[in-house]
Amino acid sequence: MQLRKIEDLELTGKKVFLRLDLNVPIKNGKIQDETRISEALPTIKYILERTSRLTMASHLGRPQNGGSPADSLEPVGAKLSELLEREVVLFPDYATESTIQLLNTLSKNQVMLLENLRFNPGEEANNVEFAHALVDGYDFYINDAFGTSHRAHASVSAAAELLSADRRAAGYLMQKEITALSEIVSRPAAPFTVIMGGSKVSDKISVILNLLNTCNHMLIGGAMAYTFLKFKGIDVGSSRVEADKMDLVETIFRNAESRKVQIHLPVDHLCANEFAETAAAIPVSGAIPAGLMGLDIGPETQKAFARVIRESKTVFWNGPMGVFEWPKFSKGTMSIAEAMADVRGKTVVGGGDSVSAVHQSGFASKMTHISTGGGASLEFLEGKVLPGIKLLMK
């Protein structure tokens, strides 16, 4: 099966429903990171070159009890208006009033943006009636929201199914994400190094096991490293450990050994006596004494990890090496980004905190691909068929 692409559709003069992922961080009404908005622009502009009859839709955050003004897409609409140089009309009442009627009244210099989809419980419930309210009367459905393609929500699943397969397609960001991540799973140039960080082994067990089929090296950092070290019999002090997940770690080591994959663990750490930004950073080599917790990989580990990364032709990174939001414990994570910037092959950053970290490092422009999907990218790399993508196949 092949992906039906936006270029396969004849959009001229047609009514288009476009599902985007505009879930950007907003603080006090101001957008903190515009990445997802800028990544949506190629698809939006492609459509607007062919038709002005465009309705855009997205969720924002996880609003409770019908949402609040703080959860509104109004700041996103204002930014889109600025970038597109046309008026973006925010429509809040689409669940009870026809979007098509409003769309037909807009001028050629206006486009519609639906208010936060998650204000309506029908969105996350994948409610068919709500899906009808979204897409009835439209000629085409375009999904460019890779970050939500793993969720069978109304705007991703039920709405798409209301249009025939030849009237729905993937936008440019969706295509870019699928291409970049597919190459990681099926055609990575060797040596292929996977870098895994973050807090829990249990959150990433499936993607780790799947990537062990194709990688040559796996570097483990972040809080999850202490579960691996504990399994190896190394004292980790009061570092965070998933004591009930040792069977998962054993499975990972067993699979790595059978596939001749080398797993690299931290040999030194930056520790603290409490989990606090103000805590003193205490360097520790080897075992961590009682009363101390590891909050970042140490300088020797940074050097060792960097050597492996720089010798690789393909690198995939998901998860920070420590509490990178705190300057004292950010050097390990920043060292990963710096080493990846020197790779002369393909470098992919897999969503979530890793994206924030690579932007913070200043090396984002050196990466081959930075995924906009956190959970979606991991589920894709597990080998799952994501609901939102399945519906775009022909």
Alpha-carbon gap, residue 34 to 25, rounded angstroms: 8
Please report, in angstroms and rounded to a whole number, the separation of the first and last CA atoms in the chain. Answer: 6
Alpha-carbon gap, residue 343 to 367, rounded angstroms: 9
Per the residue annotation, which of 36, 168, 331, 346 is the catalytic one?
36
Q: Is 350 a known active-site residue?
A: no
Q: Is 36 a known active-site residue?
A: yes
Alpha-carbon gap, residue 263 to 84, rounded angstroms: 47
Helix/strand/coil for 1: coil
Per the residue annotation, which of 67, 137, 345, 375 is the catalytic one?
375
Locus of tokens 């996350």: 124
Q: Is the CB of residue 294 less than 8 Å from the CB of residue 284?
A: yes
Per the residue annotation, which of 14, 50, 86, 200 is the catalytic one?
200
Per the residue annotation, which of 332, 351, 352, 388 is the catalytic one?
352
Q: Is the CB of residue 15 less than 8 Å from the CB of residue 52?
A: no
> What is 263-321 written as a DSSP string?
EE--SEEEEESSS-TTSPPEEEESSBPTT-EEEEE-HHHHHHHHHHHHT-SEEEEES-S
- CA angle, 79 as apex, 74 and 80 as ends, to 5°? 95
Alpha-carbon gap, residue 341 to 186, rounded angstroms: 23
Alpha-carbon gap, residue 20 to 4, rounded angstroms: 17
Q: Is 375 a known active-site residue?
A: yes
Which residues belong to the active site?
36, 200, 352, 375
